[in-house]
Amino acid sequence: ETILITFHSETVAFEKNHEYIKELVAALEEVNRYQLVITMPNADTMGNIIRKELSALAERKSNVFAVESFGAIGYL
């Protein structure tokens, strides 16, 4: 079973994105029963910080897969 994860960054209070991504990663660290597929950020606000955290998670956990893009049709 697979869970698809897409993080949409905050654009108004963008300084909170670091806190939000840390919380998401902490929650995903606890998920072991499912395969986790994470779509990586593009030009999102603070995307480099988000990318760093999600990439590190994928490196640590064998059930986590970071995908650059499925393309618009593939994602749908």
22 pLDDT above the threshold of 70: yes
Residues in the chain: 76
Question: What H or E segment, with its residue span, contains residue 35?
Answer: strand 35-39
β-bridge mates for residue 71, sequence order: none
Percentage of the residues of the chain whose pLDDT score is greater than 90: 63
As a whole number, mean pLDDT of residues 15-24 equals 92
Average pLDDT, the chain: 91
Provide the pLDDT confidence category of residue 46 given band limits of 50, 70 and 90: confident
Four-CA torsion 65, 70, 74, 76, nearest 10 degrees: 80
Averaging pLDDT over each range in 9-23, 40-54, 59-73, which range is the top one? 59-73
